[in-house]
């Protein structure tokens, strides 16, 4: 599958219905169902993508799952930590502070088209977090994020 400007965005996840809804709403996208928690499925996915898109030159890691963690009371096993790499991260889609998926897709596709040599793509809303250390705002943002998360807990 190719778009008119030779750019395509391929998305992957466990939920076919969500993938189909997203690709139908955004022409020029392709999707693959895969559970990346299964090492064999991940390897087979890599083979399929390489075969179907031999000119693929960018990988964006899946968001995975996200569970709130209490670093003062860690469980004995690391199952949650290892599982955190297709979900509505901490109910983020319902969070009014979250960037709508359609806006995210539109901005990412625009950045890919207009910055073909970029080694990193960051939507505008994430830049304050991405560059917090470089701008000297890390401590304030870290504290603000943790305060907001604490307020969201029951």
22 assigned to some structural domain: yes
Q: By mean pLDDT, which of 3-12, 17-26, 84-93 is the weakest?
A: 84-93
149 assigned to some structural domain: no
Is the model's pLDDT at 98 over the cut of 60? yes
Q: Are 102 and 25 in contact (CB under 8 A)?
A: yes
140 assigned to some structural domain: no
pLDDT tens for 31-71 read 999 987 788 998 899 899 889 888 887 666 655 565 666 65
Prediction pTM value: 0.47
User: Cα separations (Å) of 118 from 31, 58, 107, 115?
Assistant: 23, 10, 14, 5
User: Cα separations (Å) of 67 from 79, 82, 90, 125, 153?
Assistant: 11, 11, 6, 22, 12
Pairing mode, strands 29-33 and 9-13:
parallel
Q: Which of 30, 26, 50 is closest to 110 using CA atoms?
A: 26
77 assigned to some structural domain: yes
Q: How many domains does the chain have?
A: 1
Residue range of the domain that includes 84:
9-96
127 assigned to some structural domain: no
The CATH number given to whatever domain includes residue 65 is 3.40.50.720
131 assigned to some structural domain: no
108 assigned to some structural domain: no
Is the model's pLDDT at 86 over the cut of 50? no
128 assigned to some structural domain: no
Coil, strand, or helix at residue 65? coil
């Amino acid at each position: 599958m190719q778009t008119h400007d030779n750019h395509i965005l391929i998305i992957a996840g466990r939920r076919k219905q969500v993938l189909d809804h997203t690709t139908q709403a955004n022409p020029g996208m392709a999707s693959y169902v895969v559970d990346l928690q299964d090492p064999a499925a991940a390897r087979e996915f890599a083979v399929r993508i390489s075969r179907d898109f031999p000119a693929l030159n960018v990988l964006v890691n899946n968001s995975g799952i996200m569970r709130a963690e209490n670093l003062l009371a860690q469980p004995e096993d690391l199952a949650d930590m290892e599982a955190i790499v297709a979900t509505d991260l901490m109910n983020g889609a319902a969070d009014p502070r979250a960037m709508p998926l359609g806006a995210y897709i539109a901005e990412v596709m625009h950045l890919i088209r207009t910055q073909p040599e970029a080694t990193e793509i960051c939507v505008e809303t994430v830049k304050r977090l991405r560059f917090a250390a470089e701008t000297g705002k890390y401590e304030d943002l870290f504290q603000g994020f943790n305060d907001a998360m604490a307020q969201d807990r029951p």
